[in-house]
Structure 1
Amino acid sequence: MSAYYRKERYRKTASFKESIIKTVLALVFVSASVATSFHLWNKTTSLKDNLVEQKRLVQSQQNELDILRTLNPYHVESNEVLAKAVENADLYPGWITRVYPLPDKKEQIFYATDIGSFVMNETRFSLSSHERYGITEADSSMYRLNGLFPSHQPGRLQVAVAFYLKGAPENTKVDVMSQIGSCYARIDINRKRVIDHKLHVVTKYEQKQILTGNVDLDMGLYPISAVFYCDKNSDFKGDNVEVAISFRNPRQQSLTTSRYSIFHIYKPDNITAKL
C-alpha cells in the first residue's frame, strides 16, 4: 500500500511540475509576443513620425526654393530696365533675407512665418537692416538668409561669422554696467552644417566674436543658408549687433569679404519680364 501511495504521489508531483513548466513557458511566450508587438508598434509609430517630419522638411525646402526663384528684389520704374536685366542674366549678387520674430528656442526657427523679405548685398549688416526696406514690425528679429555660393577652387572652404556687439568704447572714462549678449549663428552649405554655435558674452565694452567652420567643395554652384539672431533676454539687439560673413578658398591666405561672394536667382517667368 505504501509503495502504491509513493508511486501515485510521485506521479502527481511530476504532473504538477510539468504543468508549472508549461504555464511558465506559456507566460514567457506571451510576454515575448507582447514585447515584440509593442516594439514593432513603437517602431512603426516612429517611422510614421519621421515620415511626417521628412514631408514637412521637404515642403519647407520647396517653399524656400519657390521664394528664391520668384522674389523680385528690384523695384524699378522702367520696364525696359527690368527686361534688360532679365535678358542678360538670372543670377544677381546678394542674399535673399527673410525677417522673423525672435524664437523662444532654436528648434522653432524653421517653423515660423516671416514678416517680410528683402535682398541684402552688404558685407557687414546689423540685425535691424530690414527697417531700411520698410519692414518695421519687429525691433528685435531673426534673420534667415539664402543664396548660392560659387566655388571657383576645389578643396576646403573656410567660413567665418563675426559678431560685432556695440558696447561702450574701451577708452570711455564713464563707469558703465556690464551687458549680456546671447546670440546664435548657423550656416549650411550644400546641406552640410558648417557653423552651429550659440555664443555668450558678458562685457562692458565693444566686443568682436568670430565663429569659424570648414567644408570640402568641388567646383560648382552650391546652396548656402544662414540663421542669425540674439535672444530675447540679450542686452544686444538690433543696431547694437552687426554681422559679417567671410570666406577663404584653398588659394587664399586669409578670410575675405565681398559683395560678389553670394548670389540669388532672379528669373521671373511672368509677363513683366517680356515687356
Structure 2
Amino acid sequence: MTDQFPWRVRGKLVLPADHTLVMGILNVTPDSFSDGGRYLDPQSALAAATQMVEAGVDILDIGGESTRPTRSGPVPADEELARILPVLREVRARFPNVLISVDTYKAEVAKVALEEGADIINDIYALRAAPEIAELVAAADAGLILMHMQGTPETMQQNPLYGEVAVDIKNFLRDRIAFAIEAGVPEEAIAVDPGFGFGKTVEHNVELLARLEYFRLLQRPICVGVSRKSFLGALTGGLPPLEREEATLAAQCVAVMNGAAIVRCHDVRAARRALAVVDAVLARG
C-alpha cells in the first residue's frame, strides 16, 4: 500500500489499514441525484446497510439532505434529523463495530448524531457553515472529513473558476485543517476530500483525479467521492447516473493508485472487488 497517514476515530486507529477504506453511501433523501427516495423508509435503509456490511463496507455514510445543484433547497435541521435518526439508531444497534459517518454541515444535526453513536462527521462546507461542529467533534473524539466546495450546492456549477485548481483546493484544505486544529480537533482525527463535482468543470475533475497525489502534501488521509458523478457521465457520452458504474470503478481505481485512502461509493461490492486488485498492486511497493 501507499504510505497512509494516520486517522484516529473514537480512540481507534482506523488508518493505516491493509486495504482501501470503502465508505458506503446511504442517502435518506427524496431527491439525491442517484438514489433519492430509495431509502426513505428506515427498513429499506437498514436492508441496504446490511447488504453493504455483507459486501465488506468499512464506513456507512448516512445523509439526510441532497447536495445536487437542482435540489429543492436546504433542509431544516429538524427535518434532516427526522430522516436520519431512525436509520442511525437501527444501524448502530445492528452493527456496533461498523463505523458510521453522518453527512451534514449543521451543528444541531452533528450534535445529535454524535450523541446517537455516529463516529464521523462528513462536512461538505468544511466547517464554514457551522464552525462549532469542530468543538462537537473534538468533545466526542470523533472523526472529521473536510471537503472542498466552491459556492453552495445551488451555485457551485455556475461557471466555477480557479487559478490552478489543485493548488487552490490544497490551500483551501490546508486552511480548514488549521482552523479545525485551532478549534480543538486533533490532527489525526481529520481527513480531507477535494470535492469531486462540487464546483468543478469536467476538466477540473479530471485534473484533480490525475493530480490527486499532490494532496498528500497535507499529510491527511484523502477521501474521494466520484461515484456516479456527472463528470463521469460527460466522459462516457452522457450516460445517466445508474449506468456510470464502470466509469465509477475506473475513477476509483485511479484515485487509489494516486493516493486516496477512503473511497465513498454507492456499489460497495463492486468497489471492494475492484480495489482489491489495486490494493494488491500497491502492497508490492
* TM-score for the superposition, normalised by structure 1: 0.22
Q: Specify which structure has the higher proportion of helix.
A: 2
Whose RCO is larger (CA < 8 A, sep 6+)? 1
TM-score, normalised on structure 2? 0.22
Task: Report the structure, 1 or 2, having the larger strand content.
Answer: 1
Greater C-alpha Rg: 1
